[in-house]
Chains A and B, each alone.
Chain A
Amino acid sequence: MEKIIEMRNIRKTFLGNVANNNINFVIYKGEIVSLLGENGAGKTTLMKILYGMYTKDSGEIYVNGRKVEINSPKDAIALGIGMVHQHFTLVRTLTVLENVILGLPSPKGFELDLESARKKLQEIIKKYKLVVDPDAKIWQLSVGERQRVEIIKALYRDINVLILDEPTAVLTPQEVEELFATLRIFKNEGKSVVFISHKLEEVMEISDRIVILRNGVVTGERKKEETNERELARLMVGKEVIEALRKEGGTVGAPVLKVEGIKALNDKGILALKGINFEVRKGEILGVAGVAGNGQKELEDVICGVRNPLEGHIYLKDKEVTGKSPKEIVNMGIGRIPEDRMESGLILDIPVYENLVIEFYDKPPFSKGMLINYAEIKRFAEKLVKEYRVKTSSIYAITRTLSGGNLQKLILARVLSQNPEFLIASQPTRGLDVGAMEYIHQKLLEAKTKGAAIMLISEDLNEILHLSDRIMVMYEGEIMGIIDRSKEDVDIEELGLMMAGAKRRVTL
């Protein structure tokens, strides 16, 4: 097979984190190759380097045997490389046709040449079966149709290699089949596709070849015929992962949080939670595992009071929580450590001491009647900052100036200081260094020992395995299964399969 693209020894580091660790990756002419891996494995980073959006720290790229430097998407497109991202770059008020030609020089100079563009567009639509109305405005289109526009945009620019980043995350099963049909046509023309995904079933269906990444390294490369889902899951999730020990049954008590039949929409109006049922018990940590985008964010939003579910109920010890405002939820004794530290968990442009009381400033001793007692607040803040060893110049520092780890410590300090009965922590150690991570794990375990019921949502499987008493896997808005470690060992392969949607346990 002829090599069309070769990436050698690609290395890329972000702020001390090695995203691509001397990766070698080849794309052959006329193939569909999948890049398989979890979040943070390095797949998107590698392709963004190829597409000119990131600059590699070291390594070489060869296109058709010739060494090239790709410094911007324009360079990539000129070399025949196109990419469709997870977040579309479309202008919603313009039509499909206008979006496709946006940024391109017009053959007529100053004036747009819509007729010849339309002709070329129709040819692409017909050839690749990418059915969409050229005159529809983007806001009128479904997500699947918008993705088609993104693909057409790339094809319009005469590319030979099409990179798709998690394309099926937003598609219905029917649309997935249509996408695959398009990709096969593309391949049969002698062009190539790079399919980035974490979904095993689809990868097995569409790929000729599969390259598995984990923690910035290639852990395996297989031809489709030579492998199966189980092996891929193992390569994806890693044999070296901590051998999950049977956890000693601690004093786990009665259920504190009960979630029944929750259905909810995401921001785009699509059903993101399809009927979730589970409970979290006193003194346990329930880890919610799963690749991002499978409903975890929406579940977090519902529990935290910023998203109203369509159906279903949430109870905190038999008191209804569903539909309550954030303030009421805090007052009920629920602690929330949100995924979005900077846009939800904290207000960055106010001083540290204000953030430390912001969820309960209106209660004594911090407030009485209309008045607020800043002296008391500052005393409290000093205590917390010391106790949690938050590195800040003072409690008066503007919160924005703190590092990520210390921001998280602030949230943790604030939330834990109220001894919540139920705690939801979402991606609590994302982007943090090892020291901060261990500290937060320690604090969570302490809270658990003191009897809190904790729900931990994390994309980091190590973290889940390290902390959880029970593990719940979410995939496409449903629970694939719950593993109770007091009763069994964790089968890593099974976990990987559940996370990739390839296996479902019968509900216990």
Chain B
Amino acid sequence: MVAYEGQVTFKSAGFGGGAGVVAGLKQKATGESLSLMECTGHGVVYFAHDAAEVTIIDLNGDTLQVESEQLLLLAGNLTTNVTFAGVRGMAGGQGLFTTTVAGQGQVALLSRGGPLIHLEVSPQYPLVVDPDAFVCARGQLTQSFDTDVSWRTAVGQGSGEAFSLRWAGTGVVSIQPAER
């Protein structure tokens, strides 16, 4: 929150970011933590975080997979959960789990370096992204972890792009123009 007008109260959304104790335990166990606060009352609240770009995404009953640290805010009626995302992130430091947001409402996401870039994924055209640039994904997507480790990597001549995320199916993957 950078500013507000009217009568607004801020309180910690509590253990599990308002999604219940089980979600809280999951977050603790997986390291996919989500420290949220809840804003109630009536008025206008202005949100910003560390000069990052903000993109608003409308959810219509679908599920958004998102990096928890890129989540700025979400409408109170949306539900968050932590799901197993497959083997990835050993390099990106993002862990094996991802945060999902589901329901009907708006989500605001942060991106570094510029606005989010939405990339279409279709069965003919799978998409490979840098795990450090990945922000969110929605749709019927499956993700896998691509490694490009060879003897070159071992001798220090790797390209620096040894690990990447491969998305297949139908949906939209959003990336930021910067690497974490």
Partners in one complex: no
Q: Which residues of A contact B (CB under 8 A)?
A: none
Q: Which residues of B contact A (CB under 8 A)?
A: none
